[in-house]
Structure 1
């Protein structure tokens, strides 16, 4: 029985039958890329609609997304934030007619990208996988999984730090003035902090990847340790949007801890690679490639050839050069 037309998958979303070895022509690559991009975009759009609804209403007994994201602001003392409207509710301030709609769309898109990440990450993975070998696929899964965990960990750290950072920012004036915090400003600060912490937490993964390919060995890390730690704190001081000491120190100290963990992983990897090398324990002049097949242990000593007997050399002809007959007499 044929399916109704509305239940059929559009032709541009159907995967084309590929070769058994996974090879594709240029047009097949373009079609596959377009198909996976469209699937990812559709997933983001649907998840954005869910994010917009979740921003306003609770889901499955959970508080709304708006309540979760405004919790660091609502945790401030009542005297440190401006209260307008209902005094029993914690609300941000909007100064423009369309500001709430813009904020709703912005938060909904950010939530949609996060909620649909399993779909578009799997599409990226499916597009890359045919060109990888079996061991490369295994390492790619580990790096993708580790990168996701690190990004989520950085976002959680930023959410926890935001309460302290906000308290410092709104009370630094000594109570002389009160901060009327706009919703757009607050969510820009929150989203920027989440992204910065999440991306910065990918530092150990980047170090390990560069170490795996031989670009960033542990010897270089050890020699540059002090300078790299100083650069980490400078980076934390520059990129944190609030410029408060709590977010700077939290980001800097967290990155230093992750840096040391990644350095130890690189040290263990380099140590194992050195033991597995066939040139381990040899000096620099001995570790070069041997001209004899089988390695340096099978190289034989080249002995000088025996001198040619004097009788084998033909005598000179009267003209000063040997003739053909002279060579014929040599046995």
Structure 2
């Protein structure tokens, strides 16, 4: 396939993804108020403030845009794999549908896990505050933080899909992953500490344990499939 054809496929995939995302965003706007209230409640922050007359609208718009990404993720991932598929062999192309499902599943799993861990993350961060100081958190700052955490967890939880795809393409192997397991575990530990900063050594475990399980599971899967 020529470079022009690849660029045309990329353009088509981007257009379909953006249209799907925008359509979902428009629908999500009507539910953004309830979603915002849920996120604030889930964060455990009892009082938030807004500082500009336009904040209520921009907050609803921001929630809608991010919610559009989450809900439209099956469309986005389907287009991503459709774009990648011409570079795969016929045998590998049969795995496209399972990979689309897996990519969507692990992204949504990461989003759900972020919402589960959110109260603990915020509680740990509040533990760093100086004595005598009280938090004055704006709705915009809280929303940006929460949405950033949610999307970050969704992306990080794509680890098994990324590793399996690299194995499928012959870039890495189960033997290579196992040989360098010490480096992988250190890297996963660093990721966990960055995503869940805290003074105690136990909080990062809520991220490290599932990531380590994903890494081990993918290594075993590659081994079982002869890669």
Compute the TM-score of the two structures, normalised by the length of structure 1.
0.59
2:208 is matched with 252
Could you tell me how far 1:210 is from its partner in structure 2?
2.4
Alignment partner for residue 32 of structure 2, among 26, 49, 55? Answer: 55
Segments of 5+ residues of structure 1 without an aligned counterpart are 1-22, 57-63, 84-91, 274-331
Higher relative contact order structure (alpha carbons within 8 Å, sequence separation ≥ 6): 2
- Corresponding residue number in structure 1 for 2:40: 70
Quick check: 1:187 aligned with 2:143?
yes
Any idea what SS the aligned residue of 2:155 has? helix
Identify, as 1 or 2, the structure richer in helix. 2
After superposition, the C-alpha distances for 1:136-160 in whole angstroms (9 at most, x for unaligned) are 3211222221111111111111111
CA shift in 2, pair 1:169/1:25, >3 Å: closer
Contact 2:110–2:153, Cα closer than 8 Å, also in 1: yes
TM-score (norm 2): 0.82
Give the aligned partner of residue 174 of structure 2: 218
- Aligned partners of 2:87, 2:188: CA distance in 1, in Å? 35
Query: Helix, strand or coil for the counterpart of 1:228?
Result: helix
Q: Do the aligned partners of residues 219 and 28 (structure 1) sit closer, same or farther apart at CA in structure 2, a change above 3 Å counting?
A: closer
- 8 A Cα contact 1:161 1:247, kept in partner: no
CA shift at 1:72, angstroms?
1.6
Against the structure 1 CA distance between its residues 33 and 216, is the aligned structure 2 distance closer, same or farther, given a 3 Å change threshold? Answer: closer
In structure 2, the residue matched to 1:266 is 222
Larger Rg: 1
| Two-structure CA RMSD over aligned residues (Å) | 3.0
State the aligned residue count.
225
- Over 3 Å counting, the alpha-carbon distance change for 1:212 and 1:71 in structure 2 is same
1:243 lines up with 2:177 in the alignment: no
Q: Deviations over 1:204-263 (max 9, x none)?
A: 22222223333322332222112210121112223x2x6235663322222111111112
